[in-house]
Chains A and B, each alone.
Chain A
Amino acid sequence: MEFGLSQDQLLLDDSVRKFLASEVPLDKVRQLAAGEVNDASFWQGLADMGLAGLIIPEAHGGADLGMLDAVAIAEALGYAACPGPFLSTAIMSAYLLNQAGATDPLARMATGEYRVGVAFGDVIGSRKGQVTEINSALSGQSLFALDADADAYLVALSDGRVFMIEASEVGRSILSTIDVTQSVCELSFDQSPACLVSSNPELVWQTIYRGRVIQAADTLGAAQYMLDQAVAYSLDRKQFNRVIGSFQAVKHMCAEMASQLEPCRAFAWYAGHAFDESTDDAALTACHAKAHLAEVGQFVAKTSTEVHGGMGFTDLVGLHYWFKRIGFNRQLLGSPEAVRHEAAQLSDL
């Protein structure tokens, strides 16, 4: 019995964290926010480490690793608030294309040169409009498609069929959100030629569940960063001739964050492992992990900001990038209430 990361997983985690610490400092995130760099510069570095092809089979140039590996990496990426389409192209699209047998793009995805975004709004819960299909041509619009710089998109229709369409065939406008580190866009289709990839609605859901686990792990990492920053700040900042971390009020805020967050680590690991072992509770666990981390993440994001006092509210310490990343993960691929509703349905309640 061994519940935890293996030696290999710890080594991978360690090398990714070292890379992120040196190559993705806060200053580079600020440059992205200012529009001075785009996320391609981040993504190529991650792809060179093998993260773009993480779950892609070796035959297509990937590392053929599993969801628990991906969970460990997502936690590290969240900790660094690292930009780039890990969730969309490296996990969701890579998984769906491979399962659907549409393996042609995988080799170029594994090198990082080709990015496939996901537009699953019609399945998860469309707030506006729907995409329709006639003779392999798509019409309508899809909001909040993941990855505004993708080379192609997987578009899921409300009946669960999935089409792949080249970015050059769609109208695309970047949607500005609170979070600059994860990009989304609005896609509009006008009899745009697309290619049917899957007619299996279950595959779309299996893809969404995996995405949710990655988001949960990403939020775990981002929240851990915010907790670490809060503790460090509280041991540095002095008021009334004492570090504020010696006041019980502040200590208890930090203890509450740690107490809620620490069990989430085991939860995220199990959620990844459940897919690697195809356990019966994998889908349910994914929904619970996503919803639970959304709630814990929100609590940590608010509380850590408060520990920082006025500084937490400013741009100077940059804490808000993590606050917003946690907020982004909370809504994308299903808000907590929506996901818990699904969890209840999966349990036949």
Chain B
Amino acid sequence: MDLSYGSEYDAFREEVKSFVRSNKHKQPQLGDGIKSQAMRDWQRLLIEHGYHSRTIAREYGGYGAEPDIIKSRIIAEEFGAERVHRGFNGQGVTMLTPVLLEMGTEEQKKAFVEPTIKAEMIWCQGYSEPGAGSDLASLTTKAELDGEEWVINGQKIWTSTAHHADWIFCLVRTEADAPKHLGISFLLFRMDTPGIEIRPLVDMTGDANFNEVFFTDVRVPKHQIVGQRGQGWQVANAILGHERGSLATPDAAMNRLNGVKRLMREESINGEPVMSNAVFRDRLMKLEGRALAMQYNDMRLLSAKINKNQNVRLAGMIVKLIGTELRHEIECLGIDVMGEIGLSYGNNPHKRGHGSWQYQYMFYLGLIIGGGTSQIQKNIISERGLGMPKEPKIPSKTAVPKTAAREA
């Protein structure tokens, strides 16, 4: 066990620290949108210094450094410590770029990677459909080849940033007769193509964090496909795996837990600080124990990534499930600490932390469901982590026997 990053990294840490100190006044402010000049300038500055898109080759607009997990970690730690903006990390940056670098043509890499990482080209993700959620591979949005163009018809849902996006990366069914996982293709197209309609989807937080997107005879050039026809499912799975772990980082959970501690010191019931209430303190300590377990689990995952000498498959698989549930409960404690004040929302002058406790409490319920529900996570953990069998398939074209229906 050696938790130091080694003295060879001390100079690098100092370098990051000094960058953060002398440049943090340039970071985008609350209210600067993802398409603002402030965001683009910040993004450019970060890439220039290797604090964003660090390992992406220079020819594609990145910084071109060799992968070094420890350096990436140090950057995250130092930006986190000063609460400085990490740069724009939309779905184009985090999910599409790795896929293009892995599976895109040279032409696609040249055309899309640089503007995407520089926040000049904003993307949205077209995966889920009203009838294809947990069972994503059953998606029915159809693309048919007509000469040199795909003609797309169908509907997507849960499309975040669709209203800001310039482009969409989208899963569509191109092979009508193939088995469901082999009939999907991964297309890229502009969001201002005729035939696309976007409707905001207001959620329980009161915001429209997502949209519905409708396609009617949307015509897309034939070559705007990543991978081969019918390979879209493999492409999509590569990035879904990337999405899951990043939805619930232990550092963020620990930050929020420290926020609850501050609330418990500041808030009082009949003049008694909430912190001196044994019941609340026990809930706090219970959550802290759970958060610590996730924090050390994360260090183990980092170590395994660096040293490649531990099997951490199970330790990695559980992060989304446990992390999102933990975060939801931390937000819940923050609300309970405030009692009726915890109900404050919208323009209520008594609200604390800009109303973030109720907002995050609801938002994390969304994340428990999104990106693979908790129940889907449990299927994955039991099947791939513990070696338990898949649910037997009910034959679709024959009558379902009564007993099987009852058991299911």
Contact = CB atoms under 8 A, between A and B. Distances in A.
Interface of A: 1-6, 68, 231, 234-235, 240, 242-243, 245-248, 250-252, 254-256, 258-260, 262-267, 269-270, 273, 276-277, 285, 288-289, 291-292, 295, 337, 340-341, 343-344, 349
Which one of A240, A258, A259 has the greatest number of beta carbons of chain B within 10 Å?
Answer: A259
Nearest to B390: A246
Given A1-B6, A247-B407, A264-B293, A258 B318 contact: yes
Given A2-B1, A240-B403, A292 B290 contact: yes
B285 A344 contact: yes
Q: List the 7 closest A-B pairs by CB distance, nearest first.
A: A3-B303, A292-B289, A263-B297, A251-B382, A255-B378, A266-B296, A340-B285
B5 interface: yes
Given A248-B391, A267-B292, A262 B315 contact: yes
Given A2-B303, A270-B299, A292 B292 contact: yes
Interface in B288-337: 288-290, 292-294, 296-297, 299-300, 302-304, 306-307, 309-310, 314-315, 318, 321-322
Given A231-B386, A292-B292, A1 B281 contact: no
A235 B387 CA distance: 9
A267 B403 CA distance: 44
A3 B281 contact: no
Interface in B235-280: 261, 264, 275, 278
Contacts of B32: none
Contact of B389 (A243, A262, A263, A264): A243
A267 B310 CA distance: 16
B392 A246 contact: yes
Which of B289, B387, B392, B407 counts the most A-chain CB atoms under 10 A from its CB?
B289
B179 to A, nearest CB: 22
B1 A248 contact: no
Contact of A255 (B5, B261, B297, B382): B382
A301 B34 CA distance: 49
B3 interface: yes
A260 B318 CA distance: 8
B382 A1 contact: no
Contacts of A341: 278, 281-282, 285
A53 B403 CA distance: 60
7 contacts: A1-B3, A4-B304, A235-B388, A254-B382, A265-B300, A270-B299, A277-B3
A349 B286 contact: no
Contacts, number: 160
Given A1-B3, A240-B407, A266-B315, 19 more contacts: A1-B4, A3-B1, A4-B307, A4-B310, A231-B387, A250-B388, A254-B386, A254-B388, A256-B378, A258-B386, A259-B318, A263-B322, A266-B297, A269-B1, A270-B299, A291-B289, A341-B285, A343-B285, A344-B281
Contacts of B101: none
A289 B322 CA distance: 17
Contacts of A240: 403, 407
B59 to A, nearest CB: 31
Contacts of B3: 1, 3, 273, 277
A6 B309 CA distance: 10
Q: Chain A: interface secondary structure?
A: helix
Nearest to A2: B2
B121 interface: no
Contact of A262 (B297, B375, B407): B297
B281 A263 contact: no
A344 B230 CA distance: 56
A245 B389 CA distance: 7
Contacts of B284: 344, 349
Interface string B371-387: 00001011101110111
Contacts of B6: 1
B318 A263 contact: yes
Nearest to A235: B388
Q: Which of B1, B70, B288, B322 has the most CB of A within 10 A?
A: B1
A48 B389 CA distance: 43
A277 B4 CA distance: 11
A99 to B, nearest CB: 22
Contacts of B290: 292
A4 B300 contact: yes
Contacts of A264: 293
B302 A3 contact: yes
Interface string B2-41: 1111100000000000000000000000000000000000
A292 B287 CA distance: 9
B407 A4 contact: no
Contact of A285 (B292, B318, B390): B292
